[in-house]
Structure 1
Amino acid sequence: MTTIGRDVRRRYSTLTVPACGIVLGVVDLLLQRSLPYPWANLANSSAVWALGAFGIGWWLRAGWRRSALAGIVLLVVAVQAYYLAAVVVMNDNMQTLWSSTAMIWSFFGVLAGALFGAAGGLSHDRQPWLRVIAVAMPGAVLLAEAATLVNRSDNPGGGPHYRTDSLQTAAIEATLGVVLILFIAQTHRVRLQTLAAATVLAAVGFAGFTIAGFGS
């Protein structure tokens, strides 16, 4: 990446990052309403949203601090775009934009945006061990959510269709997680290191999902 290329990315990031957030929020709602299950679950997946923050940090290539800020802006804007789209498409009440639910998701957007945005920036770091951890993050969050869905599928109140959808979505996410690691990592050695790091990070992520209430 040349200095000119980096400068162009930074110059346009002020417009690009919020624009991507709007697209993420609106497309999420539309796909969630139009796709069949279990694919509709992916459209509204917390892990997939986290991938968006990682992607914007990876694209920006401006250091972990700036990448973390970009991830935060992306996800917070996406949350508001999602609820605004719901007002337009589903005639939801305008008050949902500042409801407690929207505020909670915005809070999670700040946390996930900072963490995965920074990881996207660090995926270009000169330190090999930092790159391995950063590159492991996208796969790890998918594996963590897959494990959460498997654990949650035993909920007796969900019914057989809920269990089937959860297990199918978990299988898709686990597959995507491994494929992402193999795709992003550039050598066999780094792939093995990244898979090992992703396994540990997935366990931490599973605990995080459970503590945050996503496991029930």
Structure 2
Amino acid sequence: MVKSRNVALVAPLAGVALGVLDFVWIKYVPSPFGELGNSIAVWAVVAFLLTFGNRWTLSAGILGGAICLVVAVPSYYLAATLIQNDNPANMYNAVALLWMGLGVVAGTVFGAAGVLARTGDGLVRLAAAAMPGAVLFAEAVMQGRRIGDPNYETASLVGYIAVLLASGVAVTLLVCRSWRQRGIALLLTLPLTAVGYVLLLLTGFR
């Protein structure tokens, strides 16, 4: 219970760190790794890892994941204001509010998954552990659809897809306890990737 109470401190601090570091990452890290900063999937994975790494209850994990991603949005734009003199209004304009809304959804889903990947039983636990990899794979599929589009450079896309796939495998291996669990979780990423891809399309990502 005491651990769950620290969500009010840890989650906002994690959100500030995520938002600031994400902007710095985008600005200074070259492609293809720099593209991870523009990834909503990466933010979802951060919410998952935050709750997976803390001994929070399910309700605290859901709250913590949502708070982290919501706070990260204005923190990102604050960093942009301080580093490159962007308009401070970006922290609360319509675009920022939209991202905060998506942060609530992603933080709730992946915050819950992070707790269940640690505390759940059987297939529930493994499915939860598969979710961060699946969302990274889903974004890789979306990026793959852009290959051949003259608005995108094929070499950069292929490099970024490789980074997403490798990251998805790595996080799945990290959060599972045995090779058997890792194998099952990787298999579960396949249907979950399809679900994640559809959900990304429904939220307007192309």
**Normalised TM-score (structure 2):** 0.94
Unaligned runs of 5+ in 2: none
Tell me, yes or no, if structure 1 residue 17 matches structure 2 residue 8: no
Letter in 1 for 2:163: I
- For these two proteins, the number of residue pairs brought into alignment is 206
Post-superposition shift, 1:80? 0.9
Given that 1:50 and 1:112 are in contact with CA atoms closer than 8 Å, whether structure 2 keeps it comes out as yes
CA distance in 1, matches of 2:36, 2:134: 16
Counterpart in 2 of 1:157? 151
Structure 1 residue runs of 4 or more that deviate by more than 3 Å after TM superposition? none
Shift of 1:207: 1.3
Distance 1:167 1:198 in 2: 21
Task: Name the residue aligned to 2:187.
Answer: 196
Structure 1's 99 and 44: CA in aligned 2 closer, same or farther, altered over 3 A?
Answer: same
After superposing the two structures, state which structure 1 stretch, 170-179 or 184-193, moved more. Answer: 184-193
Stretches of structure 1 lacking an aligned partner (at least 5 in a row): 1-5
1:31-42 matches, cutoff 5 A:
31-42=25-36
TM alignment of 1:42-57, pairs within 5 A: 42-57=36-51
Give the secondary structure class of the aligned counterpart of 1:123. helix
- The residue correspondences of 1:1-216 to structure 2 (distance < 5 A) are 7=2, 9-158=3-152, 161=153, 163-215=154-206
Q: What's the offset of the Cα at 1:209?
A: 1.6
Which amino acid in structure 2 is aligned with residue 194 of structure 1? A
Alpha-carbon RMSD? 1.5
- Percentage identity across aligned positions? 36
Q: Is the 8 A contact 2:52 2:117 kept in 1?
A: yes
SS at match of 1:124: helix
- Cα pair 1:63 1:122 within 8 Å, conserved: no
- One-letter amino acid of the structure 2 residue matched with residue 63 of structure 1: T
